[in-house]
Structure 1
Amino acid sequence: MEFIRRIKFAAIPIFLTVGLVIFSLVLSSLSTAASYSLEGGRVDLSEWKMNEQPIVPLTGEWSFYWEELLEPQHFQVDAVTPDAEAVYVPRPWTSYQLNGRTLPNEGYATYRLLIRMPNELEPGLTLGLYPKSIASAYRLWVNGSVKGGNGIVGPNRESMTPSSYPEVIYFDPQSGWNELIIQVSNFSQRNAGIWQDMELGTADDISRLRISRVAVQLFVVGIFTIMAIYYVFVYFNYRREISAVLLGLLCLSVAIRTVVLGESTALYLLPHLPWEWAVKAEYLSIAATALLLMLFIHKEYPGDTSIRATKAAGVVLSACMLFFLLTPARVYTYYLSPFTWGVLFPVLMYTMGVYILSAFRRRRGSLMNAIGFLFFTLFAVNDMLFYNNMLATDDLLSIGLLCFLVAQALNLSARFSRAMQESEQLSLKLKQYNRILEQTVEERTQSLRESNAQLSHANARMADIEQFRTRLLSNISHELNTPITSIKGFAKALRDGIITVNAHKYASRIYERSLLLERLIHDLIELTKLETKQVRFAMEERELEPFLEELFQQYEWEMEEQCLRYHSDFTPMTTGIYARIDPIRMEQVFANLISNAIRHTPEDGTITVRSRLYPLEDRQWIAEVSVIDTGSGIPPSMHEHIFERFGQVLEQNEGKPHNGSGLGLAICREIMDYHQGEIGVRNGVHEGSEFYFRLPVYERIEKGATGA
Structure 2
Amino acid sequence: MKKRMIIIIVWLVTMATLGIGIPVVSASDTEVMGSQPNKGVIEIQDTGSEELQAVPLHGEWEFYWNQRLEPKDFANHSWTPAYITVPSSWENDPSDEPAHSGHGFGTYRLILHVPASDLGRNKSLFIQSIGSAYRLWIDGEERPGLGIVGSSLEEEQPQSHINLVFFQPKREKLELIIQVSNYSFREGGINREIVYGDTDALIPRILKKLLYDIFIIGGFLMIGLYHLIVCGMRKRDFSTLFVSLVSLAVSMRTLFINGYLSKELLGIESWEALTRLEYMSEIFGFIALVFLMKSLYPREVHKVMMRFAMILSVGLVLFILLTPARVYTESMLLQGALKGAVLLYFIIYVGIKAYLCKREGALIHLAALFLIVCALVNDTLYYLRMVNTVELLSYSIVPFIMAQAVIVSYRYIRLSRRNDTLLEELEAVNLSLEQKVAERTQSLQEANERRTKVLANIAHDLGTPLVGIQTCLQLMIKGKLSNNNNKMTEQLLDKTIYMKRLVDDLFELSKLESHNMDFKFEKVDVRLWFEELFGKFEADLENEGMSLNKQIADSLVGTKSCFVRIDKYRMLQVLQNFMDNAVKFSKGISGVIDLRGSIRLSEGGASYEFVLEVADYGKGIAKEDQAQVFNRFYRSRENNETGSGLGLAIVKEIVRQHQGEVGVRSGQDAGSVFYFILPAASDEA
Bigger CA drift: 219-228 or 397-406?
397-406
User: How big is each residue's C-alpha offset from its partner over 1:588-632, in whole Å with a ceiling of 9 and x where there is no partner?
Assistant: 4999xxxxxxxxxxxxxxxxxxxxxxxxxxxx9xxxxxxxxxxxx
Matches within 5 A, 1:69-84: 69-76=68-75, 78-81=76-79, 83-84=80-81
User: How big is each residue's C-alpha offset from its partner over 1:276-319, in whole Å with a ceiling of 9 and x where there is no partner?
Assistant: 21111110000111010000111011122122211220121022
Alpha-carbon contact 2:33-2:46 (below 8 Å) kept: no
After TM superposition, give the deviation of residue 203 of structure 1 in Å: 1.0
* 1:129 paired to 2:125: yes
Give the 3 Å change call, closer, same or farther, for CA 265–163 of structure 1 in structure 2: same
Give the Cα–Cα distance (whole angstroms) in 1 for the partners of residues 94 and 53 of structure 2: 34
How many residue pairs are counted as aligned between the two chains?
528
Give the 3 Å change call, closer, same or farther, for CA 583–387 of structure 1 in structure 2: closer
Q: Which residue number corresponds to residue 41 of structure 1?
A: 40
Q: Which residue number corresponds to residue 89 of structure 1?
A: 86
* 1:283 paired to 2:279: yes
- Please state whether the residue corresponding to 1:138 is helix, strand or coil: strand
Q: Which residue number corresponds to residue 113 of structure 2?
A: 116
- Please state whether the residue corresponding to 1:192 is helix, strand or coil: coil
* 1:415 paired to 2:414: no
After TM superposition, give the deviation of residue 251 of structure 1 in Å: 0.9
Q: Which residue number corresponds to residue 19 of structure 1?
A: 17
The RMSD of aligned alpha carbons is 4.4
Q: Which residue number corresponds to residue 364 of structure 1?
A: 360
Q: Which residue number corresponds to residue 345 of structure 1?
A: 340
Matches within 5 A, 1:284-683: 284-342=280-338, 344-353=339-348, 354-464=350-460, 585-588=585-588, 667=639, 669=641
Instruction: Give the alignment partner of residue 105 of structure 1, picking from 102, 107, 116.
Output: 102
- Please state whether the residue corresponding to 2:264 is helix, strand or coil: helix
User: How big is each residue's C-alpha offset from its partner over 1:51-80, in whole Å with a ceiling of 9 and x where there is no partner?
Assistant: 56732222221111110011112222x523
Give the 3 Å change call, closer, same or farther, for CA 425–525 of structure 1 in structure 2: closer
After TM superposition, give the deviation of residue 471 of structure 1 in Å: 7.4
After TM superposition, give the deviation of residue 372 of structure 1 in Å: 2.3
Q: Which runs of 5+ in 2 are unaligned?
A: 475-482, 509-580, 592-622, 624-636, 647-666, 671-685
Give the Cα–Cα distance (whole angstroms) in 1 for the partners of residues 281 and 148 of structure 2: 27
Q: Which residue number corresponds to residue 178 of structure 2?
A: 182
Give the 3 Å change call, closer, same or farther, for CA 97–525 of structure 1 in structure 2: closer
Give the Cα–Cα distance (whole angstroms) in 2 for the partners of residues 162 and 413 of structure 1: 47
Alpha-carbon contact 1:37-1:60 (below 8 Å) kept: no
Instruction: Give the alignment partner of residue 227 of structure 2, picking from 227, 231, 253.
Output: 231
After TM superposition, give the deviation of residue 137 of structure 1 in Å: 0.4
Give the 3 Å change call, closer, same or farther, for CA 434–330 of structure 1 in structure 2: same
Give the Cα–Cα distance (whole angstroms) in 1 for the partners of residues 500 and 207 of structure 2: 115
After TM superposition, give the deviation of residue 113 of structure 1 in Å: 1.4
Q: Which residue number corresponds to residue 610 of structure 2?
A: none
TM-score (norm 2): 0.67
Give the Cα–Cα distance (whole angstroms) in 1 for the partners of residues 331 and 469 of structure 2: 110
Give the Cα–Cα distance (whole angstroms) in 2 for the partners of residues 49 and 379 of structure 1: 43
After TM superposition, give the deviation of residue 420 of structure 1 in Å: 3.3
Q: Which residue number corresponds to residue 136 of structure 2?
A: 140
After TM superposition, give the deviation of residue 129 of structure 1 in Å: 1.4
Instruction: Give the alignment partner of residue 194 of structure 2, picking from 190, 194, 198.
Output: 198
Q: Which residue number corresponds to residue 240 of structure 2?
A: 244
Give the Cα–Cα distance (whole angstroms) in 1 for the partners of residues 137 and 496 of structure 2: 140
Give the 3 Å change call, closer, same or farther, for CA 327–199 of structure 1 in structure 2: same
Alpha-carbon contact 1:153-1:183 (below 8 Å) kept: yes
Give the Cα–Cα distance (whole angstroms) in 2 for the partners of residues 253 and 413 of structure 1: 23
Q: Which residue number corresponds to residue 576 of structure 2?
A: none
- Please state whether the residue corresponding to 2:326 is helix, strand or coil: helix
What amino acid does structure 2 have at the position aligned with 1:247?
A: V
Give the 3 Å change call, closer, same or farther, for CA 31–363 of structure 1 in structure 2: farther
Matches within 5 A, 1:159-170: 159-170=155-166
Bigger CA drift: 150-159 or 405-414?
405-414
User: How big is each residue's C-alpha offset from its partner over 1:190-211, in whole Å with a ceiling of 9 and x where there is no partner?
Assistant: 1211112222221111111001
What amino acid does structure 1 have at the position aligned with 2:41?
A: R
Q: Which residue number corresponds to residue 265 of structure 1?
A: 261
Give the 3 Å change call, closer, same or farther, for CA 282–156 of structure 1 in structure 2: same
Give the Cα–Cα distance (whole angstroms) in 2 for the partners of residues 267 and 419 of structure 1: 46
Bigger CA drift: 47-56 or 467-476?
467-476
Give the Cα–Cα distance (whole angstroms) in 2 for the partners of residues 528 and 23 of structure 1: 102
What amino acid does structure 2 have at the position aligned with 1:194?
A: I
After TM superposition, give the deviation of residue 15 of structure 1 in Å: 2.8
After TM superposition, give the deviation of residue 476 of structure 1 in Å: 12
- Please state whether the residue corresponding to 2:22 is helix, strand or coil: helix
Bigger CA drift: 210-219 or 416-425?
416-425
Instruction: Give the alignment partner of residue 169 of structure 2, picking from 166, 169, 173.
Output: 173
Give the Cα–Cα distance (whole angstroms) in 1 for the partners of residues 496 and 157 of structure 2: 128
User: How big is each residue's C-alpha offset from its partner over 1:359-396, in whole Å with a ceiling of 9 and x where there is no partner?
Assistant: 33332222222222232222221101111221122322
Give the 3 Å change call, closer, same or farther, for CA 582–466 of structure 1 in structure 2: closer
What amino acid does structure 2 have at the position aligned with 1:55?
A: A
What amino acid does structure 2 have at the position aligned with 1:89?
A: V
Give the 3 Å change call, closer, same or farther, for CA 586–99 of structure 1 in structure 2: closer
Q: Which residue number corresponds to residue 557 of structure 1?
A: none
Give the 3 Å change call, closer, same or farther, for CA 56–101 of structure 1 in structure 2: closer
Alpha-carbon contact 1:137-1:152 (below 8 Å) kept: yes
What amino acid does structure 2 have at the position aligned with 1:19?
A: T
Bigger CA drift: 210-219 or 351-360?
351-360
Give the 3 Å change call, closer, same or farther, for CA 185–527 of structure 1 in structure 2: closer
After TM superposition, give the deviation of residue 352 of structure 1 in Å: 2.1
Give the 3 Å change call, closer, same or farther, for CA 452–582 of structure 1 in structure 2: closer
Percentage of matched positions with identical amino acids: 28
After TM superposition, give the deviation of residue 461 of structure 1 in Å: 3.8
Q: Which residue number corresponds to residue 534 of structure 2?
A: none
After TM superposition, give the deviation of residue 19 of structure 1 in Å: 3.0
User: How big is each residue's C-alpha offset from its partner over 1:655-682, in whole Å with a ceiling of 9 and x where there is no partner?
Assistant: xxxxxxxxxx9956469x99xxxxxxxx
Give the Cα–Cα distance (whole angstroms) in 1 for the partners of residues 90 and 41 of structure 2: 19
Larger radius of gyration: 1
Alpha-carbon contact 1:132-1:197 (below 8 Å) kept: yes
Alpha-carbon contact 1:67-1:107 (below 8 Å) kept: yes
User: How big is each residue's C-alpha offset from its partner over 1:526-582, in whole Å with a ceiling of 9 and x where there is no partner?
Assistant: 9969x9799xxxxxxxxxxxxxxxxxxxxxxxxxxxxxxxxxxxxxxxxxxxxxx97
After TM superposition, give the deviation of residue 458 of structure 1 in Å: 3.1
Give the Cα–Cα distance (whole angstroms) in 2 for the partners of residues 121 and 216 of structure 1: 33
- Please state whether the residue corresponding to 1:193 is helix, strand or coil: coil
Alpha-carbon contact 2:231-2:241 (below 8 Å) kept: yes
Bigger CA drift: 415-424 or 217-226?
415-424
Give the Cα–Cα distance (whole angstroms) in 2 for the partners of residues 299 and 585 of structure 1: 83
What amino acid does structure 2 have at the position aligned with 1:242?
A: F
Give the Cα–Cα distance (whole angstroms) in 2 for the partners of residues 254 and 37 of structure 1: 42
Give the 3 Å change call, closer, same or farther, for CA 30–348 of structure 1 in structure 2: farther
Give the Cα–Cα distance (whole angstroms) in 2 for the partners of residues 144 and 383 of structure 1: 38
Give the Cα–Cα distance (whole angstroms) in 1 for the partners of residues 87 and 163 of structure 2: 16
* 1:65 paired to 2:64: yes
Give the Cα–Cα distance (whole angstroms) in 1 for the partners of residues 406 and 49 of structure 2: 45
Bigger CA drift: 95-104 or 457-466?
95-104
Give the Cα–Cα distance (whole angstroms) in 1 for the partners of residues 406 and 251 of structure 2: 20
Give the Cα–Cα distance (whole angstroms) in 2 for the partners of residues 37 and 307 of structure 1: 62
What amino acid does structure 2 have at the position aligned with 1:92?
A: S
Give the 3 Å change call, closer, same or farther, for CA 97–34 of structure 1 in structure 2: closer
Give the Cα–Cα distance (whole angstroms) in 2 for the partners of residues 414 and 341 of structure 1: 34
